[in-house]
């Protein structure tokens, strides 16, 4: 079936020698943009324009385990923008059937097919979130994203229990004005209790060598704190620049490789790996911004994971100026509130942005559904809302000369 998309800001053209092709022309026709045509979508400008004055491109790696494919799908829709790249990964805790269903769900969305920017890792393997298999999986995700697209600017890692608290237009707007080499990595060299409990403790992660997820086990002997590099530790949730991601994955320098091997026997290497590499590498050190742009609430005393957020956290969460919050239980009502108030996301649709041109209509001008992103305009312009302004104020504070340098890779 051919769909007719009509909205006030969109011109529907019917032309082509011999055939009638109905397509969409966005508000601004960009000379150097690439227009492609196929039967299903008509004309869709699918290649994001990059460069000064244009928003960046994010590469999202979204990971989860068995039973989390619905949440991953919802999260994907919440952080979706046609400019970005997405890679979804379900570990060996999921059944082949669940992975297949996720891939089919992606395939069945007209939007994802049109922009072709969502991929699912087909082959599953074991991952223990506390162990080095989680770091290996993340680096694998980064390597795939580097391989399939050479246009993205930042690599952002998400888990199935995360949710955005700003829209993609907000995030793209804030990052548009930033130097593309910045890395948002929360870090400290003050190891505290972690020195004895994490750094000096030797663990084994059986998920590295078994097909199903298995918990870590501890060795009895401790080991000394390294002196060949300074250990830094911090939040496992990072936003990495493309150059730094390439550095970690392709490692012409030996430190990323050495650290990968060293952290094999460490619990929570995601809290140490990127932090230690960046702070021990002179050419990347100055690109570190000491913040993870996340919102968490910890129990007192803190447990391994932050508390589940709910509607009682809404006020503080949305005032926090962060970009992403964690953790949420599946279908907590606060997610719906975020969908409605912040992301403007209809129940099955994606988060709205300036690129959305309104619902589908039939030839009589009757609306076929309520999804404002069912037809598509210019993917090279964004329109931030109030949440974007808040995030922007946080980022300007973080990047102030004094603030940036004084918090960057400080050795205790």
Ligand X SMILES: *[C@@H]1O[C@H](CO)[C@@H](O)[C@H](O)[C@H]1NC(C)=O
Single residue of 177, 286, 348, 370 touching ligand X by CB under 6 A: 286
What's the CA gap between 249 and 62, in Å, rounded?
18
Min dist CB 320 to ligand X, Å, is: 16
**Which part of the chain contacts ligand X (CB under 6 A), choosing from 59-67, 135-143, 199-207, 280-288?**
280-288
- Annotate each residue in 235-274 with x if it binds ligand X (CB under 6 A) or - if it does not, as one string: ----------------------------------------
Does the protein bind ligand X through residue 329 (CB under 6 A)? no
β pairing state of 288-289 and 294-295: unpaired
Instruction: For residue 282, state whether it binds ligand X (rule: CB under 6 A).
Output: yes
Is there binding between residue 398 and ligand X (CB under 6 A)? no
Residue 330 interacts with ligand X (CB under 6 A)? no
| Of 101 and 285, CB closest to ligand X | 285
Report the alpha-carbon distance of residue 51 to residue 354 in Å, rounded.
19
Q: Which of 114, 204, 307, 404 binds ligand X (CB under 6 A)?
A: 307
Helix (H) or strand (E) holding 38: strand 35-38
Q: Which of 85, 93, 57, 87 is nearest to 72 (CA)?
A: 87
Give yes or no for residue 283 binding ligand X (CB under 6 A): yes
Work out the number of other CB atoms within 10 angstroms of the CB of residue 332. Answer: 17
Could you please report the per-residue DSSP string of 189-229?
A: S--TTHIIIIIS--EE-GGGTSSS----EE-SS--PPPSSS
The kind and range of the H/E element at 36 are strand 35-38
Contact between 182 and 278 under an 8 Å Cβ cutoff? The reply is no
Does 310 engage in binding with ligand X (CB under 6 A)? yes
Nearest alpha carbon to residue 294 among 182, 165, 139, 172: 165
Q: Supply the minimum distance, in Å, between the C-beta of residue 310 and ligand X.
A: 4
> How far apart are CB 232 and ligand X at their closest, in Å?
16
Binding mask of the shown chain, residues 33 to 72, with x at each position contacting ligand X by CB under 6 A: ----------------------------------------
CB-nearer residue toward ligand X: 162 or 378: 162
CA distance readout (Å), 65 to 44, 94, 127, 243, 282: 34, 6, 9, 29, 37
Instruction: Choose which of 36, 211, 312, 348 interacts with ligand X (CB under 6 A).
Output: 312
Residue 137 is encoded by which pair of tokens? 């999986």
Q: How many residues bind ligand X (CB under 6 A)?
A: 9
Residue 73: CB minimum distance to ligand X, A:
24
Q: Is 113 helix (H, G, I), strand (E, B) or coil?
A: helix
Of 180-188, 309-317, 321-329, 344-352, the segment contacting ligand X by CB under 6 A is 309-317
> Which of 40-48, 264-272, 305-313, 342-350 is the region at the interface with ligand X (rule: CB under 6 A)?
305-313
Q: Is 311 in the site for ligand X (CB under 6 A)?
A: yes
If one asks whether residue 336 binds ligand X (CB under 6 A), the answer comes out as no
**For residue 212, how far is the Cα from the chain centroid?**
26
Beta strands in 42-113 (DSSP E): 42-45, 58-64, 85-90
**In the complex, least distance from residue 309 CB atom to ligand X, rounded to whole angstroms:** 7
On the 0-12 / 13-18 / 19+ scale of CB atoms within 10 A, 70 is: middle
Stretch that binds ligand X, among 48-56, 159-167, 171-179, 281-289 (CB under 6 A): 281-289
In the bound complex, what is the minimum distance in angstroms from residue 207's beta carbon to ligand X? 29
Which residue's entry shows tokens 């970005």?
84
Q: Residue numbers of the site for ligand X (CB under 6 A)? A: 282-283, 286, 307-308, 310-312, 405
């Amino acid at each position: 079936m051919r769909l007719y998309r009509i909205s006030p800001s969109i011109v529907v053209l019917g032309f082509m020698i011999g055939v009638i092709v109905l397509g969409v022309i966005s508000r601004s026709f960009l000379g150097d943009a690439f227009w492609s045509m196929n039967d299903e979508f008509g004309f869709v400008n699918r290649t994001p324009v990059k460069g000064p004055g244009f928003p960046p491109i994010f590469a999202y790696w979204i990971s989860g385990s068995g039973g989390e494919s619905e949440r991953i799908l919802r999260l994907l829709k919440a952080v979706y923008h046609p400019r970005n790249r997405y890679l979804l990964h379900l570990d060996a805790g999921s059944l082949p059937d669940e992975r297949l269903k996720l891939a089919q769900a992606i395939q069945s969305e007209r939007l994802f097919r049109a922009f072709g920017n969502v991929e699912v890792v087909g082959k599953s393997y074991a991952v223990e979130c506390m162990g080095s298999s989680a770091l290996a999986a993340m680096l694998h995700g980064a390597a795939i994203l580097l391989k399939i697209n050479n246009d993205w600017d930042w690599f952002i890692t998400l888990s199935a229990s995360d949710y955005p608290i700003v829209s993609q237009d907000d995030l793209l707007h804030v990052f548009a004005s930033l130097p593309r080499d910045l890395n948002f990595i929360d870090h400290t060299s003050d190891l505290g209790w972690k020195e004895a409990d994490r750094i000096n403790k030797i663990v084994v992660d059986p998920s590295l060598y078994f097909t199903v997820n298995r918990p870590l086990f501890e060795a009895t002997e401790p080991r000394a704190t390294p002196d060949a590099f300074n250990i830094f530790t911090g939040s496992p949730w990072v936003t990495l620049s493309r150059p730094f991601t390439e550095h970690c994955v392709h490692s012409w320098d030996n430190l990323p490789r050495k650290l990968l091997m060293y952290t094999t026997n460490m619990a929570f290497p995601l809290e140490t790996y990127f932090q230690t590499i960046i702070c021990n590498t002179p050419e990347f050190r100055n690109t570190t911004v000491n913040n993870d742009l996340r919102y968490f609430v910890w129990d007192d005393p803190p447990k391994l994971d932050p508390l589940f957020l709910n509607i009682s956290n809404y006020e503080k969460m949305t005032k926090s100026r962060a970009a992403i919050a964690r953790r949420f239980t599946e279908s907590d009502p606060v997610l719906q509130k975020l969908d409605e108030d912040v992301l403007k996301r209809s129940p099955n649709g994606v988060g709205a942005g300036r690129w959305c041109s309104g619902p589908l209509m039939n030839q009589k001008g009757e609306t076929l559904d309520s999804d404002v992103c069912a037809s598509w305009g210019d993917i090279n312009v964004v329109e931030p809302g109030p949440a974007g302004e808040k995030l922007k104020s946080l980022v300007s504070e973080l990047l102030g000369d004094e603030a940036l340098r004084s918090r960057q890779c400080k050795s205790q």
